């Protein structure tokens, strides 16, 4: 059964009220780009050149804010009699041709985005040399304002916010956008300035992501800021700080900073000195969230840690991967009895698989309970062990038949030793569950199970499975440590109790992933020549052990990589 998904829209969070007017507390000269608060009191000594004028189809009513790159006005679209926000590029930046062209192009591209969690752009145009954007207007407050008023946000609400941001990023990163001036079709757009000031919480609930790439430099030179981006470096990725090429994973790093701040009330990288701040972001060293908020769930902390990885390849590869991890964390919180449950429209047809699984699990549970009723009569420990071994055997049989949900349900019925269970049966059932989650690509669930077992057991299969999981997570150094521990261990694995266990295949799989981990370290971490030789030797060791007489894609890949490594590819 799929994990329930946190609702993207719905009732406002507890204490969620419209923000006070921004002008009441924003200092003069602030670079905050918020545009949804109340009006700035009019200055009787200075008249604004745009108030009262028509800009596109809108009549400007009043100035409500001023950012580092633009003026922000409340306006009304005269054709539809609807309130709008007009953002006008400052004249000083309009004279910079490169900056002007970039602002104009990115505004026109953003106008082609249409998603419930992205602020709508309705029109763009020019007033002389001053470019303007007509945008959606709504009551509410920015996430920064919400943070200022709520120093402790429920974890379940943080996960809901994260889901909506991730859904907006998933849409933007994968949208097919035709450029306004050419026939070229772009595949996605980066935000590049994700921060609480650019996230809107409407009064009626939901979330809107704002300012997609508008009026921001494409890159930064190392330790040097270009353009008007005061405040933004706290949320930049290391590659953005260093002026390197950016992809979706740069936005994911910024999302990690936002989630860290929502969970702990402080940013992971902070300093009064700009040079020191950039150095801290570049080093990517931060205090673990649970040290600041011990009640935070390990799954939520793991999501944040992965998003804040220094190397882009260690972060999630897509927003969909982030969404899956968030849904797992949200589902786990529901099981622990915290947070509101997601409301899913009723559909009897959709319930068929669930009902079938439910009846199956119910029958198994009744069977176990009836057996447990007579467990005190089973004085012989061997009989208890046989009982729990039978549960594992049924799970393995269900797994062999392809019924993964039933297998997981059976494995879950094996209690830990402190609750009267058999230690070996408990370890075997949890190992089998972790391997199933790993096969399904649910790495967070698998890792939670394996890390919990690692502190209680020493088993080669535990190390090997963790090593493979670390490899899939691009944690190559950790993967090598675990896989080498598994291959060098003199102990027999508990998997030997399964009639489907093949010792040769087990060792072959560990050897292959160890070689791939050496290869990954060479490619992404350290390209020293000695590591190239170690990777080649590790692939040779795998080939020698496996024989590779039949068709095995791993063998083909190993041979190809040996050739590539020898040629320096």
DSSP letters of 299-321? HHHHHHHHHT-SSGGGS-SSHHH
Does residue 193 carry a catalytic annotation? yes
Whole-angstrom Cα distance, residue 302 to residue 448?
A: 9
Backbone angles phi, psi at 84, to 5 degrees: -140, 165
Other CB atoms within 10 A of residue 151 CB: 7
Query: Which letter does DSSP use for residue 49 in this model?
Result: S
Q: Which is catalytic among the residues 193, 211, 282, 519?
A: 193
Backbone angles phi, psi at 72, to 5 degrees: -120, 130
Residue 369, token pair as written in the block: 């309970």
Three-class SS state of 123: strand
Treating both helix axes as pointing N-terminal to C-terminal, what angle do 503-524 and 529-546 enclose, rounded to 10 degrees?
160
- The CA angle 243-248-254, to the nearest 5 degrees, is 75
Q: Which helix (H) or strand (E) holds 75?
A: strand 70-77
Q: Mention every residue, 6+ apart, whose C-beta is less than 8 A from residue 187.
A: 174, 175, 176, 177
DSSP letters of 202-270? ETTS--EE--SSTT--S---TT---SS-TTGGGG--HHHHTT----HHHHHHHHHHHHHHHHHSS-SS-
Three-state SS string across 508-556, please?
Answer: HHHHHHHHHHHHHHHHHCCCCHHHHHHHHHHHHHHHHHHCCCCCCHHHH
- 156 near 54, Cβ under 8 Å? no
What b/e sequence results for 176-203 when a residue is b if at least 16 CB atoms lie within 10 Å of its CB, and e otherwise?
ebeeeeeeeeeeebbbbbbbbbbbbbbe
Q: Residue 244: is it exposed, middle or buried by C-beta count within 10 angstroms (0-12/13-18/19+)? A: middle
Query: Quick one: which of 446, 470, 412, 430 has its CA closest to 328?
Result: 446
Catalytic residues: 193
């Amino acid at each position: 059964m799929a994990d329930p998904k946190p609702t993207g829209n719905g009732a406002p969070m507890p204490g969620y009220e419209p923000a006070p007017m921004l002008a009441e507390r924003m200092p003069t000269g602030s670079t905050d780009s918020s545009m949804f608060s109340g009006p700035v009191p009019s200055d009787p000594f200075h008249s604004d050149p745009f108030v009262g004028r028509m800009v596109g189809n809108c009549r400007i009513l009043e100035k409500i804010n001023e950012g580092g790159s633009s003026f922000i006005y409340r306006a009304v679209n005269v054709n539809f009699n609807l309130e709008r926000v007009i953002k006008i590029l400052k004249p000083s930046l309009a004279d910079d041709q490169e900056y002007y062209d970039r602002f104009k192009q990115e505004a026109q591209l953003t106008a082609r985005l249409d998603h419930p969690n992205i602020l709508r752009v309705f029109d763009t145009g020019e007033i002389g040399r001053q470019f303007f954007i007509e945008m959606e207007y709504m009551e509410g407050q920015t996430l920064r304002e919400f943070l200022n008023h709520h120093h402790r946000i429920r974890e379940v609400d943080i996960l809901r916010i994260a889901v909506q941001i991730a859904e907006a990023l998933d849409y933007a990163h994968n949208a097919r956008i035709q450029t306004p001036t050419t026939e070229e079709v772009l595949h996605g757009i980066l935000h590049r300035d994700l921060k609480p000031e650019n996230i809107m919480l409407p009064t009626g609930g939901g979330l809107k992501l704002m300012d997609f790439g508008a009026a921001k430099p494409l890159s930064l030179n190392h330790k040097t800021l270009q353009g008007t981006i005061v405040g933004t470096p706290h949320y930049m990725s290391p590659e953005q700080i260093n002026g390197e090429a950016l992809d979706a994973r740069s936005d994911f790093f910024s999302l990690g900073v936002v989630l860290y701040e929502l969970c702990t009330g402080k940013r992971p990288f902070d300093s009064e000195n700009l040079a020191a701040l950039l150095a801290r972001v570049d080093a990517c060293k931060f205090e673990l969230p649970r040290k600041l908020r011990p009640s935070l769930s390990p799954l939520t902390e793991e999501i944040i840690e992965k998003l804040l990885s220094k190397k882009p390849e260690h972060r999630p590869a897509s927003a969909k991967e982030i969404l899956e991890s968030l849904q797992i964390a949200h589902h786990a919180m529901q099981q622990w009895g915290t947070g509101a449950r997601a409301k899913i429209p009723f559909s009897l047809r959709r319930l068929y698989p669930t009902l079938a699984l439910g009846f199956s699990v119910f029958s198994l549970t009744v069977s176990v309970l009836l057996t447990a009723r007579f467990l005190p009569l089973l004085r012989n420990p061997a009989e208890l062990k046989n009982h729990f071994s039978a549960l594992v055997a049924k799970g393995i049989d269900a797994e062999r038949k392809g019924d993964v949900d039933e297998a997981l349900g059976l494995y879950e019925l094996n209690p830990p030793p402190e609750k009267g269970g058999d230690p070996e049966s408990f370890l075997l059932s949890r190992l089998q569950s972790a391997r199933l989650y790993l096969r399904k690509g649910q790495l967070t669930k698998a890792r939670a199970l394996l890390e919990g077992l690692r502190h209680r057991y020493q088993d080669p299969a535990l190390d090997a499975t963790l090593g493979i999981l670390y490899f899939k997570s691009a944690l190559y150094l950790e993967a090598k440590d675990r896989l080498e521990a598994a291959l060098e261990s003199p102990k027999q694995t508990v998997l030997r109790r399964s009639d489907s266990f093949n010792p040769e295949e087990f060792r072959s799989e560990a050897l292959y992933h160890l070689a791939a981990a050496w290869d990954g370290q060479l490619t992404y971490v350290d390209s020293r020549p000695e590591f190239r030789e170690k990777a080649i030797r590790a692939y040779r060791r795998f080939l020698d052990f496996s024989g590779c007489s039949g068709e095995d894609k791993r063998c083909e890949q190993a041979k190809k990589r040996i050739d590539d490594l020898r040629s320096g590819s």
